[in-house]
Each structure stands twice: as structure tokens, then as C-alpha cells.
Amino acid sequence: MKLTLWTYEGPPHVGAMRVATGMKGLHYVLHAPQGDTYADLLFTMIERRDHRPPVTYTTFQARDLGGDTATLFKTACQDAVDRFAPEAIIVGASCTAELIQDNPAGLAGSMNLGLPVIPLDLPSYQRKEGFGTDETFLQIVRHLAQPCARTEQITANLIGPTALGFRHRDDITELTRLLAEMGVGVNVVGPMGSRPSDIARLGAAHFNVLMYPEHAESAARWLETNFKQPYTKTVPIGVGATRDFLAEVAKITGLPVKTDTTRLRLPWWTRSVDSTYLTGKRVFIFGDGTHVAAAARIAREEMGFEVAGLGCFNREMARPIRALAKDYGVEALISDDYLEVEATIAALQPEMILGTQMERHIGKRLGIPCAVISAPVHVQDFPARYSPQMGWEGANVIFDTWVHPLVMGLEEHLLHMFRDDFEFHDDAGASHHGGAHKPRDVVAEAAPAAADVAGSMPDAGASLGDSVPVVQPSGQIVWLSDAEAELKKIPFFVRGKARRNTENYAQTKGVTAISVETLYEAKAYYAR
Amino acid sequence: MNAPAPALGCTNTPVLKERGQREVFCGLTGIIWLHRKMQDAFFLVVGSRTCAHLLQSAAGVMIFAEPRFGTAILEEKDLAGLADAQTELDREVDRLLSRRPDIRQLFLVGSCPSEVIKLDLHRAAERMSVKHAPHVRVLNYSGSGIETTFTQGEDACLASMVPTLSATAEKELLLVGALPDVVEDQAMGLLAALGITKVRCLPARRSADTLAIGPNTVFALLQPFLGDTHAALTRRGARHIPAPFPFGAEGTTLWLQAIATEFGVDPALFAKVTAAPRARAEKAIAASAQTLSGKSIFFFPDSQLEIPLARFLTRECGMTAVEVGTPFLHRDLLSPDLALLAHGPTISEGQDVDKQLTRARAARADLTVCGLGLANPLEAEGMATKWAIELVFTPVHFYEQAGDLAALFARPLRRRALLAPLAPRIEAAE
Ligand code: SF4
């Protein structure tokens, strides 16, 4: 048993739903109680989908349990096939149905439904969402892909994008364009956008582009073994990775690298003088393994940041992320425990977080700016505009996204110059952000829960906060008034850090009253 | 005064009972608002990753701090032997309580997996209550999807508290149902103005606010889904004051009237106290009724608020109900509302979602009230929708919120009118 407050990943059947919902002409019959239908709203609300996910839930109840839940499942299968006329169905159990052991695979298999029935075995009490997407896509490929002749033109399959993916929609477009510039066509994109009949002809491509190892590495390996299709190992997120990816494609296909970089702006934007202020910004990177690895490389090589720490929530990627961390001289945090991630960030005190929506909230609490680089997703991660992560346009998008939460370069100096001007004072935020940006003290935090998707009860409980001391409360150490006044002169966006650093310094030195002297000694001590 | 009850209400309307795929939340969802209401309570779901994910998705993943709810996720090894699971649970609870000294009440909330493996949470709660007394009281209830639908979770939670209430012989009024504090305060204010001051609320905001109950307790329900709590209170000798639920100007007046009658309040005083807020409510409703009047409405089953809301929307906002779906129909509690709802709409109980979608598409009501899983798909088919979940998360009871309640239904229609110049079929996300 493990206490969980927030989770990075849903159960594995939600992974299967992501695959099914990304596809067309496929239906998922899921043996599950009524409450599990909540998962539909992930797709219809967060991703703003205009169709219900193609899932039939059996929604058995307590009174069915003594009786015949197996018949309930078979009826649901037959109804789904009759009503939705899919080309194939996937069948499986959610956590509760796993316990009642009705064997959906056997039941559906015995029914002569007249279409391919793909059983899923997703152990709910051991694995999570990422395993669910990868395993589901593997099973679909194994059951449906047929040996076939290669296309005349050199083509690739783009594999890995799913429903509810972080910018998958736009990455497909960007990659298709990159490949087209090299003269490589796209055979099938899947799971997103494909039908079972498309999966059948995966074998016609010359190779596979593995877009997201989290969701399709098993399928890529299977296709390599069975159809002799090589697959690309570089995920083209960032300028360097995109170049490497193109080189990899060239090696696989024997075609020369041809690409149009006129639309690539990141290299100049990051070199232009306004970006000087980005130098050595200490960033903490957390998310799924693939996006973290890409972000670490961009952070160090393309933005000039210092990677203060990194990690991922998906255990499947623990090994490569540990190796990567070693290369960066930091320790990898492999954890899906939100509190542990928060404690790590609080201890490292980075100047910026590159993380998920969870870290965005941690950042809010700690007063650290955060840019989102990875799933789990939120409605904000599905912007109306074209905003890929991959390829040249992806690099541009990443530059803008990462810089946005920071105070602009020139602005930072102006804030220094006019720090006593009322407009720049204390609560004045970065000028390009609407509201005042107020880094808040973690200990004093008493934030009301705001339920974005669902609304909230604004009045109940707003007064009593759910607060957890993450950093040490500054109880024992006192600030002398002149030191306090001096601290106020430090621009707000670094003030919290200065306060914490000074207190930590005072503590290690056994100083109990902080003077202006202590403040500057601490500053010198922490100076890089 | 109030409009007369219709000659033919829905009291005897045959109910369409459906049994098929349901598209509703389970009772765990109630934790989202219950934990905000009970400020020293923690809700520990004993369940699976699915349960944790449900709570997170329903809460919108947007709660900043460490929340006062969590899930003890069962793992493979817990499923192997039950004795083991109890020990594991003890360990997790010890750890939680030592980290959160602010917790005074702990609810162990059962889920489908814990029910299926027959993990005895009642025994666990008793054991832990002894161990952590007097600082923490531990209770248990089930919010599982195989036994409870959405708001039934609150019912199960409140019912679990009833046996622990101390006894009293005083004549007191108990208000039952978790409302936002501001709304609760308004109700208390109105009752105080009527001279009714011995009033308590279940749930209390804090466990220290002691509640007592006995044969002279009378209680009024604030929500229509509290059937089990009603039964538990009745078992303790308390008596229910039947009334329509306090939605809208009329509903609020009738609800107050029933209590006033019980307490022998002078009619002149009643009229004096209610006149001004009632007029305010009617004025506020009128603003939205302009949009709503003459429009048809179709309810998918969700929170059990559907029948009182249909009563409000048809009688005070001029709408016509086509179908009023509810997950469960508690006739005892809803008969005053059913009597006021004019005969006409289909009253359905339970769900077979695909069949109901077929009916909803055929009806093409001007407004369809449904869950979040159905709203965008129906909008994409050109139908205006209102998400039902907002009705339990937003303050909507009593006079001062009556206008807001009407506005919640009017907004999707107003928005549609505003956006009419855009193409009717807008590309949705892939
Ligand atoms: S329906 Fe059951 S398994 Fe699903 S979230 Fe609710 S309690 Fe958990």
C-alpha cells in the first residue's frame, strides 16, 4: 500500500484509452465500474475532443457481482460492435474487473464477432499509464500488421503519438515536413490518426520514426524484428537533436541531409544580446524521460543554462535518465511522489523549473518560474495555435515558452535601476504578465484549491490552508531591521532566494541575528 | 405568493427505469467538496491508481498545496493476503497522522477494489479510533462505483457520522448537507431572523463543533441525495421536515415555510423576513429568465439535483422539461418537488447512455444538462449544453444564489447567441 496525493500517471487502461481514442475505427470494450467513466472527460475536456472516446464500459454494480458479470461483458461487446461497427476491438479490464477475473479476452474471443479481437493484459496493480499505451499499441501492431511489400518511394511510419499527448498533434506535422524535405514520405502515422486497416500496412514503410519511446518502443522493436524495419533512436526535440535525427534518417535511407533552416530562429534568438541574462540560469528539469532528456540538452547547449537537477516520473526510463544525470554531474530523481519532487526543488532552489503541470504548481508555491515541457497535460497544453516541440519550429516554440516565465533581460536591469520606483516595487510583476507575480513564502502559504476543470467552492475552506512546510521556517533566526530593509531593495524575483540563502548561511555559521553584513557575506558565499 | 401547484404534477408519472452503460462519477467524487467543508478532516481512499486518478481529474489537477485527501493505493502484495493489508493501512495512517497534526477526523473511504477484496474498513476505523483517541476520530464509508453514484458519496459520508453524534433531548433544528460556508451562513441568518436559533449543521465545519441529536431533533435536508442520512437520522429518533429543496425564490420560500410552520413562526414575521430577499431573488432570476423562457431542457442523470432543478427552471424561468434523468429517485424526499413539477417530461431513473443519447438527439432540446464526458461531443453536434458538475461545485442554494443558479443555465445560451456569427461547425482538436 502506498499513499498517493497527486499522480503523474493514470492506470494502464487509461493508456489503452489514449491509444484507442487517437485511432479511428477501433473500439475499446472495458470491463469497469461506472465511476471509471470519468476518464472520458480527460479527452473531451482537456483535449477538447468533439467525440466521445470510443470506449464502452460495462459499468457493473455491486448487485451484479454475485451474478453474471461475464454476460454483462458479452452483451456490452455485442452492443458495441453493432452500434459502432468498428474494424477491430480491444478488450480488457480495469483494476476492479481484474479482481473479479472474468477473463474478457476469453469471453470476447469466444463470441465470433466477425472482427479482430485484441486482448489486453494490463496489470493494474503493478503498472501505469505509460505501460498501458506502449503495451496496447504493441498488441494492436502484433495482431493487425501484415507483411507487405515496401513502398516504391522511401517512406517512414511515425509511431508513438496518442490522444492526450504533449503536443503530439503538431509534432506530426513538423516531422512530416522535415521528412518531406529529405524526400521521405510518410506511410502511416499511428496510433494517432490511423485505422486498424492502416496498421495492417505498417510493413510497407522502409523504417520507423519512433517519436515517443514511452508509447511505442515495444512496437518499434517488434517491427524491427519481424519486418526488418530499423527505427530512429533520436527524438528530434531541440536544434542539436533535430540535426542528429536528420543524420540518422540519412544513414538509414542513404539519402543526403536536406533541410530548410530558414524558419529556425532559436540559434539567433539565444545568441542575441538580450539573451545574455539567460547565462547560467539554474534549472531543474522533470517530466517524462523523453522530454526531460531533450530539455536537458537544449538547456545546456542551446540556452546556456546550468542544469541543477533532473529526473523523471516514469520508472521505465530510469536507466537512461540516470546515465544522463551522471553526464550532467547531478543526481537523477526517479520518483512519482509529488512531495518528493517538491522537496527536491525546494532544496535545490533553481531559478527556473522545466517540468509538468505538477511542477508548475510547485513553482507557484515556491515562487519559482516554471515552463511546461511534458505530460501529464492540462487544458493549457492544447493551444489553438501551431506549437510543436519537434523540429525547427519546435525549437522556436521552446525558446519562447521557456523564456516567457522569466523576467526579460533588459527588464531585469531596469528593475535594478528603478528598484525604489513605486511601479517596480515589490509586487510589480514582469511587465508582460497580467497580474502581479508574487513569490510567496511556502510556510505562510494558504492557497485555496482552485479546481480549474470542475469549478470550485470558493468560500468553503479558503481560510484554512493546506500548507506543508517544505523549507525550513525562519523561526529561530531574526533579521535586524537594517538587514530587512536591505533585503527589500533586492528585486522581488530573487528576494526569496536571497532570504533563504542568507538564512541557510547564518544557520551554518551559527549566526542568530542577520545583519547587513551577514546578508552580503552570504551573497559572496553563494556567488558563482 | 407562490404559483399554485399544477393540477397534474409528476407525482404519479411512471418512471422510465434504465439499466445499461452509465456515464457518471462514483461516490469518491464527493471528497472534492467535502474536504473543503470539513476543515480538519482527511479523506483517505483505500483503492487503486484509478481512484487516485479520478480524484485528481475531478479536482482539475489544480490544487496547490498538499490536499486533505489521498489514496492508499493497493498493490499486488496487498491483494495476496488481507491481514497484511490491514497492517499496511495502519502504517500509512500512522505516518499520515504524524505528519498532519491538524487532522482531527479521518475518513477511510472504501472503493471498488477494497469492496471486492472485502477489506474491512469498519474494523480498521474502530481499531484506529481507539489508537488515536481522543485527538483523532476515524470513520469509514464507501464511495465505490459499484455501490454509489456521484453525490451518494456525500450521503454515505454524512450517514457514517450519524451514529457518532451525541444525544440530546432539546428541540433543535439540524440542517443536513454540505454547503459552502457563505450559503450556510445566509440560511442561518434567515432562520435566526425567524426566531429559530437552535440550529446546527451536518457536517459541521470542524469536528470540535459538537453536534447532538435526539427524539426532539427535527431536520431539514439541503440536498435531495441524502436518503441514507435521512434514514440514519430517523433511526436516531429525529424527524424530517419534508419540503421542496431550497433552489430558487419559490423553493427557498417553501423550504423556509415548512420549517417556520414546524416552529410556529408568526406568518406576519415570516412575510416580513422573507419579503426583501425573495424580491431580490425574483429580480435576479428575471434577468436570466428572459433568456431561458420558452426554451426546452433535457437532463442526463448526474447529481440527483435534476428534479428540484427542473421544478425551478420550469416554474420560475419558464422552461419546458423534455426529459429529467436522475441516477436514483428517492420518492420520499422528492415528493414535494415532484408534485410541483408539471406533468409532461419523461422522468428516467438510471441510465443506458447510448439509448439516452439517441433520445437526446431526437429531442434536440435547447439546453442539455450532462456530464463533462458528453458536453463537448454534444456541442460539436450543435446542441447547447450545461455541465452538470458545476451545479454541485457552485453555491446555488437559497435566495441570494437563485439568480446565479438561473444564470448558470442561461450562460451557454447567451454564449451561443454571441458566437452565432462563427461557423456552426468549428474544428475540434485532434
Ligand atoms: S469506480 Fe471504483 S475503481 Fe473506479 S474510481 Fe470509483 S471507486 Fe475507484
Give residue-wise pLDDT tens across range B254-263. 999 999 999 9
- Distance, in Å, from the CA atom of A128 to the CA atom of A93, rounded to the nearest integer, reads 14
State the pLDDT at residue B8: 82
3-state SS, residue B9: strand
Q: State which ligand 1 atom lies nearest to the alpha carbon of B53.
A: 5
- Distance, in Å, from the CA atom of A202 to the CA atom of A187, rounded to the nearest integer, reads 7
State the pLDDT at residue A445: 33
Name the pLDDT band for A68 (thresholds 50, 70, 90): confident
Of A465 and B232, which is predicted with more confidence?
Answer: B232
Q: Which of A79, A121, A274, A327 is catalytic?
A: A274
State the pLDDT at residue A488: 82
B95 burial via Cβ count (<10 Å: 0-12, 13-18, 19+): exposed
The average pLDDT across A84-101 equals: 95
- Distance, in Å, from the CA atom of A478 to the CA atom of B115, rounded to the nearest integer, reads 53
Query: At which residue does the C-alpha cell 439499466 appear?
Result: B19
* A467 in Cβ contact with A443 (< 8 Å): yes
The average pLDDT across A56-72 equals: 89
A-to-B residue pairs, Cβ atoms closer than 8 angstroms: 279
* ipTM of this predicted structure: 0.92
Name the pLDDT band for A475 (thresholds 50, 70, 90): low
Which range, of A22-26, A271-275, A291-295, B277-281, averages the lowest pLDDT? A271-275
A472: how many CB neighbours lie within 10 A of its CB? 15
User: Among A421-430, B15-24, B207-216, which range has the highest average pLDDT?
Assistant: B15-24
Dihedral, CA atoms, B217, B218, B224, B225, nearest 10 degrees? Answer: 20
Give B408's contacts in chain A (Cβ within 8 Å): none
Name the pLDDT band for B151 (thresholds 50, 70, 90): very high
- Distance, in Å, from the CA atom of B282 to the CA atom of B288, rounded to the nearest integer, reads 10
The average pLDDT across A40-66 equals: 92
Indicate the top mutation candidate among B32, B50, B73 to test ligand 1's pocket, ranked by most ligand atoms within 8 A of CB.
Answer: B50
State the pLDDT at residue B423: 56
Sign of CA dihedral B368, B372, B377, B380: positive
Q: Cβ of A49 and B112 within 8 Å?
A: no
State the pLDDT at residue B67: 81
- Distance, in Å, from the CA atom of B121 to the CA atom of B74, rounded to the nearest integer, reads 13
DSSP-assigned states of every residue in A236-276: -BSHHHHHHHHHHHHHHH-PPP----TT--HHHHHHSGGGG
Residue of A nearest to B327 (CA): A34
- Distance, in Å, from the CA atom of B2 to the CA atom of B250, rounded to the nearest integer, reads 6
State the pLDDT at residue A495: 76
Q: Is the pLDDT of residue A460 over 50?
A: no
Please choose, from the candidates B138, B158, B156, B160, the residue with its C-alpha nearest in 3D space to the C-alpha of residue B147. B156
Q: Is B260 on the interface with A (CB under 8 A)?
A: no
Of A381 and A299, which is predicted with more confidence?
Answer: A299
State the pLDDT at residue A249: 98
Mean pLDDT of all residues belonging to chain A: 87
Q: Is B88 on the interface with A (CB under 8 A)?
A: yes
Three cell numbers written together for A59: 459499468
Q: Distances from the Cα of B390 to the Cαs of A159, A452, A507, B396, in angstroms?
A: 38, 11, 49, 10
Q: Give A168 to chain B, closest Cα distance, Å.
A: 9
Q: Write down the pTM of the prediction.
A: 0.88
Beta pairing class for A352-355 and A282-287 = parallel
For an interface test with B, give the residue of A8, A31, A37 to mutate (most B CBs within 10 A).
A37
The average pLDDT across A507-516 equals: 87
Indicate the top mutation candidate among A7, A96, A98, A124 to test ligand 1's pocket, ranked by most ligand atoms within 8 A of CB.
Answer: A96
Q: Distances from the Cα of A290 to the Cαs of A127, A166, A217, B253, B349, in angstroms?
A: 18, 11, 12, 60, 47
The C-alpha angle B315, B317, B318, rounded to 5 degrees, equals 70
Q: Is A10 on the interface with B (CB under 8 A)?
A: yes
Pocket of ligand 1 (CB under 6 A): A 33, 35-36, 95-96; B 26, 28, 47-48, 50-51, 54, 111-112, 144-145
Q: Is A304 on the interface with B (CB under 8 A)?
A: no
Q: State which ligand 1 atom lies nearest to the alpha carbon of B27.
A: 6
State the pLDDT at residue A101: 87
Q: Cβ of A169 and B429 within 8 Å?
A: yes
Q: State which ligand 1 atom lies nearest to the alpha carbon of B144.
A: 7
Name the pLDDT band for B218 (thresholds 50, 70, 90): very high
Please choose, from the candidates A88, A9, A10, the residue with its C-alpha nearest in 3D space to the C-alpha of residue A54. A88
Three cell numbers written together for A417: 535601476
Preceding omega of B134 cis (within 30 degrees of 0): yes
Q: Is the pLDDT of residue A428 over 70?
A: no
* A77 in Cβ contact with A89 (< 8 Å): yes
A500: how many CB neighbours lie within 10 A of its CB? 19
* A256 in Cβ contact with A250 (< 8 Å): yes
Judge whether A337 counts as a catalytic residue: no
Q: Cβ of A65 and B116 within 8 Å?
A: yes
- Distance, in Å, from the CA atom of B194 to the CA atom of A268, rounded to the nearest integer, reads 73
Query: At which residue does the C-alpha cell 457520522 appear?
Result: B161
State pLDDT tens for residues A179-189: 999 999 999 99
A311: how many CB neighbours lie within 10 A of its CB? 26
State the pLDDT at residue A412: 58
Q: Cβ of A95 and B429 within 8 Å?
A: no
Q: Is the pLDDT of residue B231 over 90?
A: yes
Which range, of A59-63, A426-430, B330-334, averages the lowest pLDDT? A426-430
State pLDDT tens for residues B152-190: 999 999 999 999 999 999 999 999 999 999 999 999 999
Indicate the top mutation candidate among B25, B48, B79, B147 to test ligand 1's pocket, ranked by most ligand atoms within 8 A of CB.
Answer: B48
A50: how many CB neighbours lie within 10 A of its CB? 18
Chain center to CA of A54: 24
Mean pLDDT of all residues belonging to chain B: 92
The average pLDDT across A265-271 equals: 95
Query: At which residue does the C-alpha cell 415555510 appear?
Result: B257
Q: A27: which residues sit within 8 A by CB, 6+ positions away?
A: A20, A54, A55, A56, A80, A81, A84, A86, A88, A89, A90
3-state SS, residue B313: helix
Beta pairing class for B296-299 and B15-19 = unpaired
State the pLDDT at residue B322: 97
A348 burial via Cβ count (<10 Å: 0-12, 13-18, 19+): middle
Name the pLDDT band for B84 (thresholds 50, 70, 90): confident
Give B74's contacts in chain A (Cβ within 8 Å): 1, 125
* Bridge partner list, A285: A310, A354
Which range, of A406-415, B114-123, B305-314, averages the lowest pLDDT? A406-415
Please choose, from the candidates A55, A134, A72, A152, the residue with its C-alpha nearest in 3D space to the C-alpha of residue A108. A72
Dihedral, CA atoms, B258, B261, B265, B269, nearest 10 degrees? Answer: 60
Q: Give B24 to chain A, closest Cα distance, Å.
A: 6
Contact residues, B window 55-84, toward A, CB-based 8 Å cutoff: 56-76, 78-79
B108 C-alpha to ligand 1 centroid (Å): 15
* A388 in Cβ contact with A178 (< 8 Å): no
**Strand order through the sheet with A282-287:** A332-334, A306-312, A282-287, A352-355, A370-372
B112 C-alpha to ligand 1 centroid (Å): 5
State the pLDDT at residue A104: 92
- Distance, in Å, from the CA atom of A421 to the CA atom of A343, rounded to the nearest integer, reads 35
The average pLDDT across B274-284 equals: 96
Q: Distances from the Cα of B150 to the Cαs of A56, A99, A344, B32, B406, in angstroms?
A: 19, 23, 36, 11, 23
State the pLDDT at residue A231: 98
Give B180's contacts in chain A (Cβ within 8 Å): 457-460
Q: Distances from the Cα of A424 to the Cαs of A274, A414, A433, A435, A437, in angstroms?
A: 20, 9, 14, 13, 12
Name the pLDDT band for A482 (thresholds 50, 70, 90): confident
Residue of A nearest to B142 (CA): A62
The C-alpha angle B418, B423, B424, rounded to 5 degrees, equals 80
Q: What is the CA radius of gyration of chain B?
A: 22
Residue of A nearest to B29 (CA): A35
Please report, rounded to a whole number, the percentage of residues in chain B having pLDDT higher than 70. Answer: 95
Q: Cβ of A37 and B373 within 8 Å?
A: yes
State the pLDDT at residue B82: 63
Give B430's contacts in chain A (Cβ within 8 Å): 169, 192-193
Q: A468: which residues sit within 8 A by CB, 6+ positions away?
A: A339, A442, B65, B66
DSSP-assigned states of every residue in B354-388: HHHHHHHHHH--SEEEE-HHHHHHHHHTT--EEET
Q: Is B382 on the interface with A (CB under 8 A)?
A: no
State the pLDDT at residue B51: 97
